[in-house]
Amino acid sequence: MAKKSKSFNIVIYPPKEVSEQAISFSKRLKKKGSLLVLDGKNHFPHVTLYMTEFPLKSVAKVRKLLKQVAAETKPFQLGHLKYRQNKDGYVDVGYRRSKNVNKFQRKIIELLNPLRNGLVRDKDRMRINQMSATEQKNIRRYGYRSVGARYFPHMTFTKLEKFHRSVLSQIEKMDFSFTVTQIGFFHSGEHGTCCKVIEIFDLSKRTCR
C-alpha cells in the first residue's frame, strides 16, 4: 500500500551567491569522508524552519499558506555566527537567533502544524527517548524538535562519516550572512537534506529595515 504521508522541509532558501558558496564549501569537504555533498540539484543549500511529516492530501494547502505568509513577510537579515561540527559529523554554519527569524519560524509552525494531523516522522519517533524533555514536548506538539528555545538556525554543508577534529581549521572561512528574500518547500531526504523542490516563494518586495 502506498504511503499516505511524507517528510517535508520548509526552509529559508539562500540567494544564488550564498548557495554557490555553500556548494563550493561542501565540495571541498568531500575528501574528508562526506556522506552528502550540496549540489543544488539533489541536495539544496537551506536553513530549516520546519521539518515534519504531512499527509499528502495536505500538500496543496501547505503551498497555499506558504505563499500567503511569504507575501506578508518583509525581507530580513540572517547573520553568520560561527562554523560548527557536532559529534555526529554534521558540519554547518550557525546563524544568530534574531527576533525576526524566531518570529518567522513561530508563525510558519503555528500556521502549518494543524495540517500534519498529529503525524511524526518515523526517524523522530524512533529516537524520541534520546531527546531532552523540551525536545520530546516539541515533537508531540509540533512534529519537530527544534522549536522556540531549541531552534538554532543553521546551514549544513555536509555530514562526515565520523567526527573530524581538524576539518574546520583546514578550510578558508567565508561569511555566509545574507538577506532572506525567499522560502522553499521541499521533499526531505536522508540526513535532513532538501532533495526535491516543490515550490520557492518570494517574500514581500518591501524593503527590510
> What domains can be seen in the chain, in order of their start residue?
5-202 (3.90.1140.10)
pLDDT above 90: residue 161? no
50 phi, psi to nearest 5 deg: -155, 110
Q: Provide, rounded to the nearest whole percent, the portion of the chain with pLDDT above 90.
A: 82
Q: 25 CB contacts (<8 Å, ≥6 apart)? A: 38, 157, 171, 174
Q: Is the pLDDT of residue 3 over 90?
A: no
Eight-state DSSP code of residue 207: P
Q: Supply the angle between the helices 99-112 and 59-71 in degrees, to the nearest 10.
A: 150
Is the pLDDT at 202 greater than 60, yes or no? yes
- Mean pLDDT confidence for 170-181: 89
Rounded to whole angstroms, what are the CA distances from 8 to 31, 151, 168, 190, 208? 29, 17, 30, 11, 28
> Among residues of the chain, what percentage have pLDDT more than 70?
97
**In 149-206, at which residue ranges do the beta strands (DSSP E only) sit?**
154-159, 178-180, 182-188, 194-202
- Residue 171: CA count within 13 A, CB half-sphere: 26
* Rounded-to-integer distance, Cα 177 and Cα 84, Å: 15
- Give the model's confidence band at 6: pLDDT under 50 very low, under 70 low, under 90 confident, else very high: very high
pLDDT at 209: 43
Summarised one tens digit per residue, pLDDT across range 77-130 is: 999 999 999 888 899 999 999 999 999 999 999 999 999 999 999 999 999 999
- State the pLDDT at residue 165: 75
**C-beta separation of 20 from 67 below 8 A:** no
C-alpha 121/C-alpha 125 separation (Å) is 6
**pLDDT at 205 (0 to 100):** 73
Instruction: Go through 121-153 and write b for each residue having 16 or more CB atoms within 10 A of its CB, e for each that does not.
Output: beebeeeeeeeeeebeebbeebbbbbbeeebeb
Q: Which amino acid is at 101?
A: V
| pLDDT surpasses 50 at 208 | no
Place of cell 527544534: 146
| 83-105: burial string, b at 16+ Cβ within 10 Å, e else | bebeeebbbbbbbeeeebbeebb
